[in-house]
Amino acid sequence: MQTQKNELNFNGQNIYVGIDVHLKSWTVTIRSEHLEHKRFSPPPNAEALHNYLTRNFPGATYYSVYESGFCGFWIHRQLEALGIHNIGGKGTVRMRSTLVKDIEQNISCT
């Protein structure tokens, strides 16, 4: 009998992450180009988010956006170091229906 092995493979796909940053919590919205995957509150650190993304969307290219505000740019530096392309501090984040558009506009301007 043959066995079938199902592995997740998101090579060539973009995953967009909007992060609403607060002092002790983050609210994260994850989208692909075609659907909203999930809105949840992971532990407030870049490594936990990275682990979630690589476990659930292996091989994808990750883009994130957040408004740096009070917390500065340490999150930006950590996300970038983990391979998540981040657009931090470039205006207000509209996380739901316009997240993909916001990220694409900011990427084309950099």
Q: What single-letter amino acid sits at 52?
A: Y
Rounded mean pLDDT of 8-18? 94
**42 within domain boundaries:** yes
Where residue 64 sits, what CATH number does that domain have?
Answer: 3.30.420.40
**5 within domain boundaries:** no
The Cα–Cα gap between 75 and 69 comes to: 11
pTM reported for the whole predicted model: 0.76
Residue ranges of alpha helices (H) inside 57-95 are 74-81
What would the pLDDT profile of 33-42 be if each residue is shown by its tens digit?
888 999 999 9
| Cβ atoms within 10 Å of 35's Cβ, excluding its own | 7
The Cα–Cα gap between 13 and 59 comes to: 8
Q: Are 79 and 46 in contact (CB under 8 A)?
A: yes
**4 within domain boundaries:** no
Asked whether residue 27 carries a pLDDT value surpassing 90, the answer given is: yes
What would the pLDDT profile of 44-70 be if each residue is shown by its tens digit?
999 999 999 999 999 999 999 987 777
What pLDDT shows up at residue 3?
A: 76
**1 within domain boundaries:** no
Residue 84's pLDDT band (cuts 50, 70, 90)? very high
**18: burial class by Cβ within 10 Å (0-12, 13-18, 19+)?**
buried
Helix (H) or strand (E) holding 36: strand 36-40
Asked whether residue 100 carries a pLDDT value surpassing 70, the answer given is: no
**2 within domain boundaries:** no
State the total domains in the chain.
1
What pLDDT shows up at residue 63?
A: 96
Asked whether residue 28 carries a pLDDT value surpassing 80, the answer given is: yes
What pLDDT shows up at residue 44?
A: 94
**3 within domain boundaries:** no
Residue partners of 76: CB distance under 8 A and separation at least 6: 66, 68, 86, 88, 89
Domain that holds residue 91: 14-109
